Structures are given as C-alpha cells and as structure tokens.
Amino acid sequence: MSESHPRRHVAILGSTGSIGTQALDVIAQHPDLFEVELLTANNNADLLIEQALRFQPNQVVICNPDLYDRVAEALQPRMIKVFAGIESVCDLVGSPDIDIVLTAMVGFSGLRPTIAALEAGKAIALANKETLVAAGSLVMPLARRHQAPVIPVDSEHSAIFQCLQGERVKPSKLILTGSGGPFRTMPAAEMADITREAALNHPRWKMGAKVTIDSATLMNKGLEFIEARWLFDMAPEEIEVVIHPQSIIHSMVRFSDGCVMAQLSNPDMRLPIQYALSYPYRLPLAMEPLDLIRTGCLSFEEPDLERFPCLAIAQSALKRGGMAPCTMNAANEEAVAAFLEGRIRFTEIPEIIQKTLDKAGFEEKPDLETIYSTNFESRRIAAELIAR
Ligand code: MG
C-alpha cells in the first residue's frame, strides 16, 4: 500500500543549530515534498543568510536585534522578509501558509514560540524538550485543545512513537535507552576533573553543546524521562531507563501481554527529524543501513544513579511535580553554561541543581505566568550559587 506524501510547508525555529541544519539536509533531499516558509536563528546571521538564499523562505527572523541590519541587507533584495526578536517568531509561527513547525531551539526559550504555534493549531515537530520539561502539564492540554499534533523529534521519543503506530491500547511500560555518555565507565573519583573538551566528545551522537553536556551528566535522560511522561501520558513508574552503549535501539515499549517493541537504526538524527516532518508517511533517506552482523553485540545495563545524580534528580523532580521540573531545568541550563565557561566543575552541576531545588519556592499547580517567573527566579538562585 502506498499513497503519496502531500507537499508540506515548514517553519524551522533554530535553523542554524544541529537539528535545524540536519532538518534542512532532509528537506534538500525531498525538494518536491517540502517547502521552507520560515527560518529563525539567534545569533548565527551568516549561516541564516546562507540557508535563506538556498531555501528561499518567505520570512526569516534573527532573534538578536543587533544583527538585523546585516541579515536584512543580504535578504531583502531577494524578496525575503526579515524580522528581529523572539516576539517576531511568536507572531509569524501561526501564519496560515505554515503546516508544520519544527521547534529546534535550545532550552526554555523555546516555550513561548511553541505555545504560539500550538495556539495557531500548527503541527509541532518537537525537538525542544525543555518546553515539555518546564511546562508539560500545560502544553499538552493546550495542544489537545487546539487539535495540534505534537510529533517527537528526540530519537528516543520518536522510537516510542514509531513503536506505538497502529496500536489501540496504551503500553504498560516505556523503556528509554541511553548510550550512557562518554563517562559511563569512569570511576567516581575521577569525575571532578572532567574537562569541557572531554564532556563535549560524545561517543555516539554529534549534537549541540547543551545537549552533549546533558548527555554526559545523564541529565539529558532525565529531561527525556519527563518529556516521555507528558508526550505519552505515562506515570513516572511506567517509564524505565536502560543504558545501551551501542545506541542502536533508540527506545522500546512493552505491552500488557509482555510484547516488547523496539525501533532500531544506526544513530543518525536525520531519521527521527525526517519521520516527524513526513509522518505518517515514510520517505527514503540516504544513510548507512543498519548491519546487525557488524554491530555484533547489543548490551544493556542499569544506570548508575550514584555517579550520575542528575538522572535521579530529574526523576524525583517529576514525582514531586508542580514547578519542580521547571526549577530543575532552569538550574541545569545555568549550571551547564557555567561549566562550559569553566566556572564550575562537572560534579558541581548536580550540586547546583539540587541546591536550587532546595531553595526555590514550590507550587503544586503553576499557571504559565508562574512557570515564566519560576524559570527566572530559579536561574537567579542558581547563578548566585554558581558565583559563590
Ligand atoms: Mg535523545
């Protein structure tokens, strides 16, 4: 059975980052199926200009207003409208000629534009996990109210999403896999001396700096644990984390009859990106096919929560609920930035996050305004702890 994929008009928020550039790579492989309507970037004006000249969107946004003149000068003569500031992203993302919005910006700053896209009823290809971590209890009902599908791009959640296709009942368990990062086997005593360079050198995945550090601390798996809770409406007790160093199985689901479904491929983010853009269709993708004989062994182990406390912190923040995950996410963003700037040690990242959680206020049912103020206040607390 085969039917043809409709032509889709795509907005890419964060087009110059790792996910954004790979999404454009996917789109370039199917020029007859995808049309780029909107590209946005924070600071990388040169790459944004290059992408816009190549993909000819109607509109671009450069979030940093200082770079507006440069982008406008390059693109306006080519009939591409240029805007500045995050508010412009929120205004443009709902425009009627956009079918699907890929949210590929980093961190909490993705929340506002994602909400704007959902309120306009746009399909979301969700790559910005922090949106669901900070505000999943508000974002998912909003998506349902506006009948806006939320399709995961994160490889684990894409795997689960793919395993659930055609199923009529909820699974009894989600099994999130993770590579364990570059320090999976490092003795605890050596972890305080981990350098920025070592932490940025992920064994399996090539990604942006924030998610690479999160992968090294296992906070990434913690964020994904929370993301899975909201995307698939599963209780924390129904989600399990398994370390799988080969990164061939991208996650699994178990059903009440004991059947476990897994999605396998070589690690390449273009697959989940393309699936999110083409869903429910599948398109060819030029990538190395999985060779199981050459792969040989697939192994699994329990995550070590003593050496990687970030995962335990995330799990308990989700169980506590309310604004705890938002506070945790804010503190993590501050701590990761401080680590990348050489201001704190690797092992201080979880300490900063835990202390911020201990100090920050708590509300059981925060509204969106409370989420924004919690993010702001938690960052202030974390920054103070870092400065000490
Ligand atoms: Mg992931």
Q: Is residue 272 part of a domain?
A: no
Same domain, 203 and 103: no
Ligand 1 centroid from CA 51, angstroms: 25
What is the whole-number distance in angstroms between the Cα of residue 66 and the centre of ligand 1?
33
Q: Are residues 240 and 361 in the same domain?
A: no
Q: pTM for the full model? A: 0.96
| Cα-to-centroid distance, 258 and ligand 1 (Å) | 25
For the chain, the domain total comes to: 3
Final residue before a domain boundary, out of 280, 305, 330: 305
Residue 3, pLDDT score: 74
* pLDDT, position 5: 84
For residues 250 and 349, state if they share a domain: no
Q: Are residues 355 and 377 in the same domain?
A: yes
Q: How far is the CA of 68 from the centre of ligand 1 (A)?
A: 33
**Residue 201 placed within a domain:** yes
CATH number of the domain to which 377 belongs: 1.10.1740.10
> Distance, CA 127 to ligand 1 centroid (Å)?
9
Let me know if residue 217 belongs to a domain: yes
Question: How many angstroms is it from 143 CA to the middle of ligand 1?
Answer: 22
Same domain, 221 and 249: yes
Cα of 155 from ligand 1 centre, angstroms: 5
Q: For residue 113, what pLDDT is reported?
A: 97
For residue 224, how far is its CA from the centre of ligand 1 (angstroms)? 7
Neighbours of ion ligand 1 (CB under 5 A): 154-156
Tell me what pLDDT residue 202 has: 85
SS3 assignment for the chain: CCCCCCCEEEEEECCCCHHHHHHHHHHHHCCCCEEEEEEEECCCHHHHHHHHHHHCCCEEEECCHHHHHHHHHHHHHHCCEEEECHHHHHHHCCCCCCCEEEECCCCHHHHHHHHHHHHCCCEEEECCHHHHHHHHHHHHHHHHHCCCCEEECCHHHHHHHHHCCCCCCCCCEEEEEECCCCCCCCCHHHHHHCCHHHHCCCCCCCCCHHHHHHHHHCHHHHHHHHHHHHHCCCCHHHEEEEECCCCCEEEEEECCCCCEEEEECCCCCHHHHHHHHHCCCCCCCCCCCCCHHHHCCCCCECCCCCCCHHHHHHHHHHHHCCCHHHHHHHHHHHHHHHHHCCCCCCCHHHHHHHHHHHHCCCCCCCCHHHHHHHHHHHHHHHHHHHHC
Containing structural domain, residue 371: 321-388
Predicted confidence at residue 2, as pLDDT, reads 61
Instruction: Walk along the chain (388 residues) in steps of 10 and give the mean pLDDT of each run.
Output: 82 97 97 97 98 98 98 97 98 97 95 98 97 97 98 98 97 98 96 96 86 96 98 98 98 98 97 98 94 96 98 98 98 98 98 98 95 98 97
141 and 98, same domain (yes or no): yes
